[in-house]
Chain A
Amino acid sequence: MWWLFALAVLALLIVVFVLAKRELVTEADSERDEVLREKENWNRHKYMSAGDVTRETERLLKAVDARFADDASLRESLTEVIEEWSEVRIQAFQDRRSWVRRLDENGKDSNPPPESGEHFS
Chain B
Amino acid sequence: MSSGFAKSTVFRWLGLGMCIFGIVGFLMPLPESMLDNARDIYMAMDEEARAQTSVYDTARRMQLTLALLAMCVIFFATEAVPLPAVALIIGLVQLFFGITPPSRIVASYAHDAVWFIAGSLALSGTFIKYGLDKRIGMLVVRFSGTHVKGMVFGILIGTSIPSAFIGGHAVAGMFLPIIMALYTLTNKTVPAPKLGKLLALCVAYGCMMGGPMAPTGGARNAIMIGFLTDFGIEISFLQWLLMGFLFTLVMAGILAMIMPLIFRPEVRRLDVAAQQLRKDLEKHGKMTRKQYLVGGVMLFVIFLWMTDKTLIRGVLGFSLGMGGIAITGAVIYILMGLTTWKDYEEGINWGVVVLYAGAISLGSAFKATGTSIWVADMIRVVIGPLGMDSGIPLLMLVVLLGAVFTNLVSAGATVAIIGPLVLGMAEQSGTSPLMVGLTLALSTATAFWLVIGTPASSIAYSSGLLTSKDYIRGGMFIWPLAVVVIIGVILLFWIPVLGLPVFE
**Chain A residues close to B by CB (< 8 Å):** 1-3, 5-6, 8-9, 12-13, 16-17, 19-21, 23-25, 27-32, 35-36, 39, 98-101, 103-104, 107-109, 112-121
Contact = CB atoms under 8 A, between A and B. Distances in A.
A19 B450 CA distance: 14
A17 B169 contact: no
Contact of A120 (B76, B130, B284, B450): B76
B413 to A, nearest CB: 5
B24 A109 contact: no
B52 to A, nearest CB: 27
Of the listed residues A8, A109, A116, the one surrounded by the most CB atoms of chain B closer than 10 A to its CB is A116
B34 to A, nearest CB: 8
Given A1-B29, A31-B462, A116-B124, A107 B288 contact: yes
Given A114-B169, A120-B411, A2 B83 contact: no
B388 interface: no
B360 to A, nearest CB: 13
A108 B73 CA distance: 40
B173 A114 contact: yes
B174 A113 contact: yes
Given A13-B74, A31-B3, A113-B169, A21 B450 contact: yes
Given A107-B131, A116-B167, A16 B16 contact: yes
Contacts of B171: 113
Interface stretch (B175-183, B251-259, B309-317, B420-428): B175-183
Contacts of B291: 107
Contacts of B277: 100
Nearest to A39: B464
Nearest to A117: B169
Contacts of B170: 113-117
Of the listed residues A5, A9, A19, A98, the one surrounded by the most CB atoms of chain B closer than 10 A to its CB is A9
A32 B462 contact: yes
Interface in B1-53: 1, 3-6, 13, 16, 20, 23-24, 27-31
Interface string B57-98: 000000000000010011011110001000000000000000
Interface in B268-293: 277, 280-281, 283-284, 288, 290-291
B191 interface: no
Given A21-B77, A116-B347, 10 more contacts: A3-B31, A12-B20, A16-B74, A27-B3, A28-B461, A32-B464, A36-B464, A99-B131, A118-B83, A119-B412
A63 B3 CA distance: 50
Contacts of A113: 128, 133, 169-174
Contacts of B131: 99, 104, 107-109
Contact of B83 (A1, A36, A120): A120
A35 B459 CA distance: 11
Interface stretch (B238-246, B349-357, B495-503): B349-357
A101 B283 CA distance: 8
A98 B181 contact: yes
Given A104-B284, A118-B352, A121-B220, A25 B468 contact: yes
B219 A121 contact: yes
A114 B78 contact: no
25 contacts: A5-B24, A5-B29, A6-B24, A12-B16, A13-B20, A21-B77, A21-B408, A21-B452, A31-B1, A32-B464, A98-B177, A107-B288, A109-B130, A109-B131, A112-B128, A113-B169, A117-B170, A118-B349, A119-B169, A119-B412, A119-B455, A120-B76, A120-B355, A121-B168, A121-B455
A12 B284 CA distance: 54
A23 B1 CA distance: 12
A9 to B, nearest CB: 6
A54 B357 CA distance: 53
Contacts, number: 179
Contacts of B458: 28, 31
Contact of B454 (A12, A23, A121): A121
A118 B351 CA distance: 8
B218 interface: yes
B77 A17 contact: yes
Contacts of A121: 167-169, 211, 218-220, 410-412, 454-455
A28 B454 CA distance: 12
Contacts of A32: 461-462, 464
Of the listed residues B24, B78, B281, the one surrounded by the most CB atoms of chain A closer than 10 A to its CB is B78
Contacts of A108: 129-131
B134 interface: yes
A102 B370 CA distance: 56
Contacts of A25: 450-452, 468
A16 B211 contact: no
Contacts of B134: 99, 104, 109
A104 to B, nearest CB: 5
- Counting from the closest, the 10 A-B pairs by CB-CB distance are A113-B173, A98-B177, A118-B4, A120-B412, A5-B28, A116-B349, A20-B78, A107-B288, A118-B5, A117-B169
Of the listed residues A16, A114, A119, the one surrounded by the most CB atoms of chain B closer than 10 A to its CB is A119
A107 B128 CA distance: 11
Contacts of B412: 119-121
B5 to A, nearest CB: 4
A3 to B, nearest CB: 8
Of the listed residues B24, B124, B452, the one surrounded by the most CB atoms of chain A closer than 10 A to its CB is B452
A2 B28 contact: yes
B352 A117 contact: yes
Of the listed residues A107, A109, A120, the one surrounded by the most CB atoms of chain B closer than 10 A to its CB is A120
